[in-house]
Structure 1
């Protein structure tokens, strides 16, 4: 959705409704038949205020129990006066958009509508978007920044304090949540501290802190009667600081979760990983970086 010819201040709430293309010339008495219900949303925040994002990956139409929690999270935040500024779905939508002649993609969009109608629902391509049709459904269903040039395959945008870059490395991963140490030349760069509330703090990291956010819920995620595994990823991946749901075995199931990312200011970034499976926060960490620039 684009707002044209409307000058609203950052963070300002507004209501809107949409109609089919033919509805532009419809008479008022027919409005109920061609117009959607009224929806509430907010203008994205300014570049000097706290910015809040929802982050999820690998969420399909089926076996996605975290979706109601995502919707409720967004609604509760808006009612509390601290709305999320966008949701980032970082690849693998619907499982799959093209399935059953595209009907699964349509049903998926209906399922996420309560979320996508209230805040920008930004998407990225994953291997499931490629399908047998060279990303055709993904390119046609969404309109991301520079869509006319890059066809949603890569783009960037600003939202509040955050500059988001979207691209697809076509690299596989486990359907879980993983947090990595900032490693440069096989060495952890910067200090790793612990807050009084047990949250991890990366202070002045000299390397990227990578996150795998691939456990929002899909038909490929394992079901089990026992809790998902948590802790280190494996003895061979010492750069992985924490995981939830990595390679469940035996009676273990997968962990359905998503992230809440908050940029408090230009120096403090906060990530909380909420697990629907555990019904609690499973990871809480910060980046504190007084200065910015290229890594040495």
Structure 2
């Protein structure tokens, strides 16, 4: 578990975190310490000092407390719970496109995270933060992180970039966050390399993958990163397929959607879906790998598709489209809180669009076991009411068959 924090002046003394099991923390027993690394990043006249410290040797399904020390200054005490055993259900939240202004869902997110009836393994933010992180010499990012600290300090806050993180080739974004992959030849108790653009984890019965769609849209920075990411995805999915007897569900996260209600089905030709003469697309790889669900943001709406295979709806049964479907279920959850929120809905949505809603909202996911996964969309406008819910049922997790 990595803790990242920012100061506006260099720490006079040592920067570190003190942590330990919750019951023993205040007694001063079983204390552990981790000293931080430091980076500097300047925007305009302001330099930020970014510190990272890793908490190692954590036990599964245990409560921990931690406190940040920056020289003589120190933070409040935070707490978190480590992930559950592999045979336990996985629960997490997905949010997207949340700014510093109009971050209306923060109150509900706080209530969820600090409610004992909810035990989330993580929150995943699928791009577009603060609007924008670099604005006002980065002061917008300072205010944004101060606001979300109320939940991001207590549950792993996982991210991938959106188009609003493009500043200086995504460099400010890349300095502020600390994403890692635990599934790639990392030895026990060894800290994996930071990669804020693509990463993956096994949590309970699911393998979750985050990647970057923006590589396809900012090719002025080159295209090598498209090929690097594709090769990484191919290898990661290959490992996930080989491990599917133990971890059956494969879930992906990224910013711009492959499918959305604003387009006709014949207009879905984005490069990252189908590729080009210069670089490969991703949908075929995902279909051949049997990806179960893909989460997206970017559009400031909630949208759920029917199961899709290369622009063709592939429902499971007539009674339940999500029972053993022959395609990927796509979820857009890009309306967590953005002041640009004024989505125009298509009066004639394509046939693959099963549900669209304009409320400020976010997504709950619970993977019960190898066969059942539940999605719920929680509306801020309606005081936390669930405005959409489906259960995806899969007796087997296999590559999808090309429709005849």
Range into which the TM-score falls when normalised by the shorter chain: 0.7 to 0.9
Gaps of 5+ in 2: 3-53, 182-190, 215-255, 258-297
Say which structure, 1 or 2, has more relative contact order (CA 8 Å, 6+ apart): 1
Residue aligning to 2:373: 269
Q: 1:48 to 1:192 in 2, by over 3 A?
A: farther
Q: How many residues align?
A: 258
| Shift of residue 217, structure 1, vs aligned partner | 0.7
Q: 1:44 to 1:117 in 2, by over 3 A?
A: same
Q: 1:167 aligns with which of 190, 206, 211?
A: 211
Residue pairs, 1:173-184, within 5 angstroms: 173-184=298-309
Residue aligning to 1:107: 143
| In structure 2, distance between residues paired with 1:152 and 1:138 | 8
Residue aligning to 2:263: none
Give the secondary structure class of the aligned counterpart of 2:200: strand
Indicate yes or no: 2:265 matched with 1:140.
no
| In structure 1, distance between residues paired with 2:106 and 2:318 | 33
Give the secondary structure class of the aligned counterpart of 1:217: coil
Residue aligning to 2:57: 6
Residue aligning to 2:236: none
Listed one character per residue, the Cα deviations across residues 220-253 of structure 1 (whole Å, up to 9, x for unaligned) are: 013xxxxx99xx95424110000101xxxxxxxx
* RMSD, aligned α-carbons: 2.2
| Shift of residue 41, structure 1, vs aligned partner | 0.7
Give the secondary structure class of the aligned counterpart of 1:294: coil
| Shift of residue 134, structure 1, vs aligned partner | 1.0
Over 6 Å off, 4+ runs? none
Give the secondary structure class of the aligned counterpart of 1:119: coil
Q: 2:360 aligns with which of 238, 256, 259?
A: 256
Residue aligning to 2:314: 188
Q: TM-score, normalised by structure 1?
A: 0.81
Residue aligning to 2:221: none
8 Å CA contact 2:122–2:156 kept in 1: the answer is yes
Gaps of 5+ in 1: 24-32, 195-200, 223-227, 246-254
Give the secondary structure class of the aligned counterpart of 1:113: helix
Q: 1:92 to 1:188 in 2, by over 3 A?
A: same
Q: 2:353 aligns with which of 240, 252, 255?
A: 240
| Shift of residue 4, structure 1, vs aligned partner | 4.1
| Shift of residue 136, structure 1, vs aligned partner | 1.2
